[in-house]
Structure 1
Amino acid sequence: MIFPVKSNFSVSDSKLKDDVKYQLMTIYKGYMGETFKDLVINRISAGSLVVDFDLIYDNDTPAASKDIAEANIALLSGGSNIEVLNETVSATSLKVNGVIVTNTTLSDHKSVCNMYEALNGMCPSNQHCIAVDSQPSCVFNEVDKNNGLARVIVMVVVAIVALTIIVLITLLVIRKIRRMENRNLPDEEKKFTRRNNRYLSQITMKSLSQSCPRP
C-alpha cells in the first residue's frame, strides 16, 4: 500500500513502523470487528511510503473479505487516513494478491471487483460481482433468478394438476362403489326402493300443486 508522504524518512525507523502499524490496525479492526486478529508489517520502503503488510484474521468468509475490501476502499478514497511524519495522508494504490487498485480506479466496477475476488475468490458460477458505490458483492445472475421463478411456477402448476387428478380419481372410485352396492341389493329391496322413490315423487308433486296459488 502506497502513501504519498513528502517528508524524508528512514526505512529502518522502528518508531515509524510501529506508528503505521497501530494506525492501520485501528482502521482494519474498525471494519472487521472481532474477526481481526493482527497486522504484520513485512517491510517499509521509500518512494513515497510503501508499506507491505499481511492481515491475520479468523473466518475466511465472503463477509470477512467484504469487510477488508471496504477498509481498503476507505483508505484509497480518503474515507480513512493515517497521520505519519506530521502528514495526514490516504493511500494512492494497493496490491492484493497481484491485483492493483488505485484511488483513480475506484469508480471502475471491474477494478473493485477484481480486488474483492482476489480476497474472496471468484464468485460462484451462478453469481457475478457488482460494485455499487465502490462496495463489491456477489449477486445472482438475472437468468438464474428467472429460472428460479419459472421452476416455482412449474412446481405450483404440477401440484394443482396432481391434486385435480387425485380428486377426480376419488370421485370415480366413490361412484363405482355406489353402483356396485346398488347392484348387490336384493330384488325385494330394489323394488321397495323404487316404490318408495315413486311415492316420494307423488308426495312432492302434490305438495307443489297445493302450494301454487289458484287463479
Structure 2
Amino acid sequence: MELYRKICNICGISNIQYHREDVRCLSFNDYIFDKVVTISVLEHIYPEKDGDVKALTEIKRVLKPQGDILLTVPYKEKSNIVYLEGSVYERESKEKNFFAREYDQEMFNRMVENSGFICRDITYICEKTGVLSLDYYQWGPGKIFWYAKYICKFKQILEKIVGHSFDEILARRYLYISDKIIHRVVNVVAVLESN
C-alpha cells in the first residue's frame, strides 16, 4: 500500500484511509460508502465460480442505497477462465491455479444481476489489430500462434534494454474507448447501481 500513499502524497490528497481487506467479507458497517471503485479486481476473486458475485454482494452491503460502483473487468467475445501454473496470489500450488475470469456479455450480465445490481452505463475498451496488439497475442485469440510468445518476449527484452514499459505507448496506438464494440473488445468499464 506504500505505493498508493506515495501517489496520494504527490497529488496532495490527504483525506484517505487505507485498509487491506477480503472483499468477500468486509469489516465495514452496512450502507457506509457513497461510491466504490474497483479496477481489475473482480475477475481475480476466488473461487472461479461465483467469487465475483460474492464480492459484489458484499460491496452492495456496504454501499449506500443511492450509491454506485464503477468497475472494470476483462471483457471478450467469448467468456473464459484463465489458469496459471503455480502459486497465484494467496493460493499456493505447484499445479494449475485459478487466475482470472474473462467475461462475455452473458457472463457479465449474470454477475451483475445475481449480485443485485443493474448496469447504468457501460463503455468498452477495444483493441485495433496490429503487429503489437499485445492483448491479442498474450490473452486473446492470437496466443495460439507459434510466434505469439516471441512477440511478447521481444517486448519484455526491449523494455529491459530501454528501461521502461511500452504499455502506455502501445495503449495509445491500439486501444480506444467506445460505447459500442467495433474491433476486438478487451475490457469493459461499467457503472452499477442497486436495483
Calculate the TM-score normalised by the size of structure 1. Answer: 0.22
Larger Rg: 1
Q: Work out which structure has the larger RCO, using CA pairs closer than 8 Å and 6 or more positions apart in sequence.
A: 2
Q: Which structure: greater strand fraction?
A: 2
Q: Which structure: greater helix fraction?
A: 1
